[in-house]
Amino acid sequence: MPGGRGERVEALKVEVGQSARNYLLYVPAGLQPGAALLIAFHPSRSNADEMRQISGAVLERLARDRGFAIAYPEGYEEHFNDCRKVASYSARTQNIDDVGFTRAIVADVVKRADVNPDRVYILGFSNGAHMAFRLAMEAPDLVAGVIAIAANLPTAENTVCRFAEGRAVPVVFINGTKDPINPYEGGDVTIFGSDDRGNVLSAVQSAQLLAERYGLHELQQMRPPLEVRDLLARWRDWGRPDKPQARVRLITIEEGGHTIPQAKFDFPARLRLGKTFRSDVPLESAFDAIGLPGR
């Protein structure tokens, strides 16, 4: 996906310990000093280029509209080191420092695009969403908000992460009820019966766990369901009047699969794991909830 007129797309490297790591940087035309940075983590068996391909149509449109830069990190051997103890990919078994990698990306983009290091937001899809959970738990000083797509929190016996002290990080979950990889109701995560990733909580339990951690209460229904074709998106929110910056939101896509909701992009056949909600509204709502409303 080439950059448009006045936009910048760069393939860059940062040093993490003794290793060089790669990422893509997208800067929309006219980005203002002090803008926000979104870091978009790809799924398992993928890379930064593919994450940009499958999400850039909606994310880069939002970046232009709302005025933020996007970094697409490249995983270690196609994966990120998330919190799941059972996961067998090399990023996990070798305990690759992907939290340090994220900090290095932020420092590099601050220098290149003059973004605000206090306005760093994380979006992840599948394994990338589990990496987003790790950052929300272990690096709340770095992260201003998280959007996790197609992932539930791992169960207590399947996690290696612990909550660090710090601010309550707004988190939005976007999950489909017919996801063949990430079970909406919780249970074992596998890739078509192999590559066991261990057990996860249900989508509702995941949202409730964070809400309890942050001392939030479920709010009355704030938004009516949205129907697009034969799919329905429903919203549940947890918050507190005295903590307006703290929010947990669960966006449930009824009959939705292991995909990113968006209006324009068609997932390639090998990634088409169920139905896609054909609207940008869930992601727009997610950005609003984490505090990235615009310029």
60-97 residue pLDDT tens: 999 999 999 999 999 999 999 999 999 999 999 999 99
Domains of the chain: 8-290 (3.40.50.1820)
Average pLDDT of the chain to the nearest whole number: 94
pLDDT, residue 268, reads 72
- Determine which of 30-39, 42-51, 108-117, 187-196 has the lowest per-residue pLDDT on average: 187-196
The answer on pLDDT for 174 being more than 90 is yes
The answer on pLDDT for 10 being more than 80 is yes
Can you give 64-93 as a three-state secondary structure string? HHHCEEEEEECCECCECCCCECCCCCHHHH
Q: DSSP character for 157?
A: G
pLDDT, residue 265, reads 87
Q: Let me know: does 24 contact 10? Beta carbons within 8 Å.
A: yes
| Separation of alpha carbons 275 and 213, rounded Å | 32
Can you give 247-276 as a three-state secondary structure string? EEEEEEEECECCCCCCCCCCCCHHHCCCEC
Question: Which residues fall within 8 angstroms of residue 290, CB to CB, at 6 or more apart?
Answer: 121, 144, 145, 146, 147, 170, 171, 172, 247
| Separation of alpha carbons 59 and 264, rounded Å | 11
Virtual CA dihedral for 246, 206, 40, 121, nearest 10 degrees?
10
| Separation of alpha carbons 137 and 98, rounded Å | 13
Give residue 134's pLDDT band: very low, low, confident or very high (50, 70, 90). very high
135-173 residue pLDDT tens: 999 999 999 999 999 999 999 999 999 999 988 999 999
Q: What is the mean pLDDT of residues 114-122?
A: 97
Q: Let me know: does 101 contact 73? Beta carbons within 8 Å.
A: yes
Q: What is the mean pLDDT of residues 236-241?
A: 93
